[in-house]
C-alpha cells in the first residue's frame, strides 16, 4: 500500500560533474558518506550533483529548460539514477512564488528543499522523526539530483520515495518528482541516509526493526 500525505553558486566537481554546494547541513557535523560501509568523521559540505546541466551552463549559473525527451539531457548526464518499479510513499507539494527563480521556473536549489520536506514526511508517515528512528537519529550524507523538466508556479509536485541499497549504516532514499496534472517527470534522485547516535556523535548500524519494514 502506498502511504500518501496530502497536507500541506553552481561549481564544477573534481570529476567534471556540475555541483551545487548548499553548505554544511547542521545535521551533518561528524559525518562522512555512505555508499559502502565507510563512515568518515570529517565535516564535509553537503553537495548536490546536478547531472543535467552542461559545464557551460554551470559557469553561467543557470539550468536551461529541460524536457524528458531532450537529447541533451542524455548526452550531458553525469550520473544515472535507476528508479524502482514502485514506491512505498507519496506526498504532494505545491510550488509557491518563493520557489521560482528569475527565469520564471522552479529553482534547482528550491527543488532540493522541497525534496528535503518530502523526506521529513516520509519518516513521519512511518511514525518516526529524523531524531528518533527506532532510537537512532539520521543524517543526510549526500544527495544526487537529475533534472528532467521545468516546473512552474502553482503546479503541484508529486514526490514518491522508497529506501534502496541498504548497507551497514544506512541506505539510499530514492525518489521521483512528477507534476501532478500532466504526469511529466520533473526530476529524479537519491539521498544518502546514515543512522547516527547524536549523544555519542558516531554512526549507528541500521536498526533491525526499521530494516525489517523493507524486505529485500
DSSP string covering the chain: --EEE----EEE-TTS-EEEE----TT-TT----SSS----S----EEEETTS-HHHHHTT------TT-HHHHHH-S---PPPS--SEEEEEE--GGGB-TTSSB-HHHHHHHHHHHHHHHHHHTT-BTTBBTTBEEEEEEEEEEE-S---TT-EEEEEEEEES--SSEEEEEEEEEETTT--EEEEEEEEEEEEETTTTEE-PPPHHHHTTS--
pLDDT of residue 6: 39
Residues 190 and 174 sit within 8 Å (Cβ to Cβ): yes
Q: Write out pLDDT tens, residues 60-99.
A: 233 344 455 555 555 556 778 999 999 999 999 999 999 9
Rg (CA), the chain: 17
pLDDT of residue 214: 94
- Please count the CA atoms within 13 angstroms of the CA of 130 that sit on its side-chain side: 15
Q: Write out pLDDT tens, residues 38-68.
A: 443 333 334 444 333 332 233 223 334 445 5
pLDDT of residue 198: 96
Domain spanning 3-211, CATH architecture = Roll (3.10)
**55-78 residues labelled b (16+ CB within 10 A) or e (exposed):** eebbeeeebbebeeeeeebeebeb
At 111, the pLDDT band (50, 70, 90 cuts) reads very high
Q: Write out pLDDT tens, residues 165-213.
A: 999 999 999 999 999 999 999 999 999 999 999 999 999 999 999 999 9
**122-143 residues labelled b (16+ CB within 10 A) or e (exposed):** bbebeebebeebbebbbbbbbb
Structure-block grid coordinates of residue 212: 525489517
Does residue 17 surpass a pLDDT of 90?
no
Residues 215 and 197 sit within 8 Å (Cβ to Cβ): no
pLDDT of residue 76: 59
Q: Write out pLDDT tens, residues 139-170.
A: 999 999 999 999 999 999 999 999 999 999 99
pTM: 0.68
pLDDT of residue 43: 35
At 216, the pLDDT band (50, 70, 90 cuts) reads confident
Does residue 13 surpass a pLDDT of 50?
no
pLDDT of residue 192: 98
For the chain, which residues make up each domain, given as ranges? 3-211
Amino acid at each position: 500500500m502506498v502511504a500518501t500525505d496530502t497536507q500541506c553558486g553552481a561549481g564544477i566537481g573534481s570529476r567534471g560533474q556540475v555541483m551545487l554546494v548548499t553548505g554544511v547541513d547542521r545535521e551533518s557535523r561528524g559525518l562522512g558518506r555512505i555508499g559502502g560501509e565507510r563512515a568518515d568523521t570529517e565535516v564535509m559540505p553537503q553537495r548536490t550533483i546536478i547531472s543535467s546541466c552542461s559545464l557551460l551552463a554551470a559557469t553561467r549559473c543557470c539550468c536551461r529548460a529541460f524536457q524528458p525527451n531532450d537529447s541533451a539531457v542524455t548526452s550531458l548526464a553525469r550520473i544515472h539514477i535507476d528508479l524502482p518499479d514502485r514506491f512505498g510513499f507519496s506526498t504532494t507539494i505545491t510550488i509557491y512564488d518563493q520557489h521560482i527563480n528569475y527565469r520564471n521556473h522552479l529553482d534547482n536549489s528550491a527543488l532540493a528543499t522541497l525534496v528535503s520536506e518530502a523526506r521529513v514526511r516520509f519518516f513521519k508517515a512511518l511514525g518516526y522523526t529524523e531524531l528518533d528512528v527506532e532510537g537512532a537519529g539520521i543524517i543526510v550524507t549526500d544527495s544526487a539530483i537529475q533534472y528532467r523538466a521545468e516546473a512552474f508556479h502553482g503546479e503541484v509536485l508529486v514526490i514518491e520515495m522508497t529506501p534502496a541499497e541498504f548497507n551497514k549504516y544506512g541506505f539510499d532514499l530514492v525518489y521521483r518528482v512528477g507534476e501532478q496534472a500532466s504526469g511529466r517527470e520533473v526530476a529524479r534522485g537519491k539521498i544518502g541516509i546514515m543512522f547516527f547516535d547524536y549523544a555519542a556523535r558516531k554512526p549507528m548500524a541500521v536498526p533491525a526493526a526499521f530494516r525489517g519494514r523493507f524486505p529485500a
